[in-house]
Amino acid sequence: MSDPATHPADTPLYPIREVSRLTGVNSVTLRAWERRYGLIRPRRTPKGHRLYARDDIERIERVLQWLNRGVPVSQVRELLEQPETVEAPAPSAGDWPSQRQQLVAAVEALDLHRLEALFNQSLALYPVTTCLQELWQPVVHELEEGWDDHLGAILQRRTLEAFLRTRIGTRLYHADSMSTGPLVLITALPDDPGILWVLLSALAASDQGFRVQLFDVALPFSEIPLAMERFKAGALLLCSGKAERADLIRRQLPRLAEQLDVPLALCGPAARIRAGDLEPTPVEALGDDLPQAITRLSALIREA
């Protein structure tokens, strides 16, 4: 572990906001790794503000490598202290399967206290990208498959949507006030029975530095060009957990894309299912891995 006493006086030091930008790990998570697990130990200014050296940043990057290979955060410190030739355990050794089971059970039981604890714990200890890929996306996939023909499914869906709308909305509000990135307008497609993919996409976009204008009710296509103009949006991201109608995918979306001066992209299960239908059109199918989809959207905006 880096020790402030070993840093030469002329070592460059970085504030926590800059370290968060460089590593993609938000400041809340960095503080949790320090306080709860002793993974990093930054310097402190006389007023108590954290300052990180380059070896702290490299250590954070090593933490991310272990987490991305499925190691629980509680086991990472021991691995960091071992020679770098040590191999990571197989991904199944991580605690994500357990967290996924707990999250599904909390939704099915409408246990809001447990849901709150799992949400806060996951986003405090892990980067948003990891939380989405390992926890929230798989759980939403599993829940939606079970909701196809299940008594109480609507109640479970609406409860989870209401919960995430509040928590993610709060995060968007605070992130937008500090972000200088382009604005992306995010809304659902008409056949999607809910807004779970919209909310998770908004979280992924905000985490990658976008400002987000979120509509949790599908906008009529006739209103979208005006909305894009008024909000000065740099891209339109449509989301759906369903395959959507063939006519909408093959005709209506391409016509809408031709009316816009910025990229129109589709994400969520609909983008995976309908990727072949969209290949010859100006609509970009980004897939249902949301962090990767937002990374691709960033490239589209730069090209545009």
Distance, in Å, from the CA atom of 52 to the CA atom of 185, rounded to the nearest integer, reads 35
DSSP string, the chain: ---GGGS-TT---EEHHHHHHHHS--HHHHHHHHHHH-----EE-TT--EEE-HHHHHHHHHHHHHHHTT--HHHHHHHHTS-TTPPPPPGGGSSHHHHHHHHHHHHHTT-HHHHHHHHHHHHHHS-HHHHIIIIIHHHHHHHHHHGGG-TTHHHHHHHHHHHHHHHHHHHHHHHHHH--SPEEEEEE-TT-SSSHHHHHHHHHHHHTT-EEEE-SSPPPTTTHHHHHHHHT-SEEEEE-SS---HHIIIIIHHHHHHT-SS-EEEESHHHHHTHHHHTTSS-EE--S-HHHHHHHHHHHHHH-
Could you tell me if 293 and 204 are in contact, meaning their C-beta atoms sit under 8 angstroms apart?
yes
Distance, in Å, from the CA atom of 77 to the CA atom of 85, rounded to the nearest integer, reads 15
Nearest to 201 by CA among 172, 229, 230, 158: 172
Question: 155-173, pLDDT tens digit by residue?
Answer: 999 999 999 999 999 999 9
Share of the chain above pLDDT 70, in %: 92
Range(s) of the chain covered by CATH 1.10.1660.10:
4-92
* Topology classification of domain 93-160: 1.10.1240
Nearest to 188 by CA among 216, 223, 208, 168: 216
Return the CATH architecture of domain 179-303. 3-Layer(aba) Sandwich (3.40)
Nearest to 165 by CA among 147, 186, 189, 135: 186
Worst-scoring range by mean pLDDT, 60-69, 78-87, 164-173, 285-294?
78-87
In this structure, the strands spanning 50-52 and 183-188 are unpaired
Residue 245 has pLDDT above 90, yes or no: yes
Given 3.40.50.620, 3.90.1010.20, 1.10.1660.10, 2.60.260.20, which CATH number is that of 4-92? Answer: 1.10.1660.10
Choose from 78-82, 92-96, 119-123, 267-271 the range with maximum mean pLDDT.
267-271
In Å, how far are 129, 181, 250, 257 from 224, measured between CA atoms? 28, 21, 18, 10
Report which residue type is found at 284.
Answer: E
Whole-number pLDDT of residue 296: 96
Mean pLDDT of the chain: 89
Range(s) of the chain covered by CATH 1.10.1240:
93-160
Range(s) of the chain covered by CATH 3.40.50.280:
179-303
Distance, in Å, from the CA atom of 135 to the CA atom of 240, rounded to the nearest integer, reads 19
Residue 274 binned pLDDT confidence (cut-offs 50, 70, 90): very high
